[in-house]
Amino acid sequence: MVEIERLPHGEGLPYPAYMSEHAVGMDVCAAIEGEIEVGPGDIVLCPTGFKVAIPEAFELQIRPRSGLAIRHGLTVVNAPGTIDPDYRGEVKIGLINLGRHPVTIRRGDRVAQMVLQPRFVIEWKEVEGLSSTSRGDGGFGHTGT
């Protein structure tokens, strides 16, 4: 179980929810008054009306909703956004309009998806050289177009 707290401006809105039986991401609604127009190239910070207490071994990832991204160019500016387990403020979604036309967001619109993911902690081991692979240091475009 993950603790969630509704904020006053989130009253009447659904909590994040899975929209189908096998969905991985929970849709998140905009907790705004009225509407916001996001012009081409504009970035907005969209409130959700809730806070969460993420368990220590996890993170929440904020991801775009594919329909909004494909149809309108509205996506998460830092996709995927990460919410750390020690954060206790309101979950807010950074949205950017990469499309050619303004996009209007209204109260209750589903604007992003939220996915709970395990958090792994890395311990570094310094070495003189890395193990070799068939790819080696081949970078961007090294396998062709």
Q: Where are the domains of the chain?
A: 22-118
In whole angstroms, give the CA distance from residue 5 to residue 11: 11
Tens digits of residue pLDDT in 88-141: 999 999 999 999 999 999 999 999 999 999 999 999 999 999 999 988 888 877
Tell me the whole-structure pTM to 2 decimals: 0.88
In whole angstroms, give the CA distance from residue 25 to residue 34: 26
Position 61 scores a pLDDT of 98
Contact partners, residue 63, CB within 8 Å, separation at least 6? 25, 76, 79, 80, 81, 112, 113, 114, 115
Contact partners, residue 118, CB within 8 Å, separation at least 6? 57, 58, 59
At CA 89, angle to CA 87 and CA 95, rounded to 5?
100
Tens digits of residue pLDDT in 76-89: 999 999 999 999 99
Mean pLDDT score of the chain: 95
143: pLDDT confidence band, cut at 50, 70 and 90? confident
**What is residue 103's DSSP assignment?**
E
Residue 69 has pLDDT above 80, yes or no: yes
The SS3 call for residue 112 is strand
Structure tokens at 85: 């387990």
Which CATH architecture describes the domain 22-118? Distorted Sandwich (2.70)
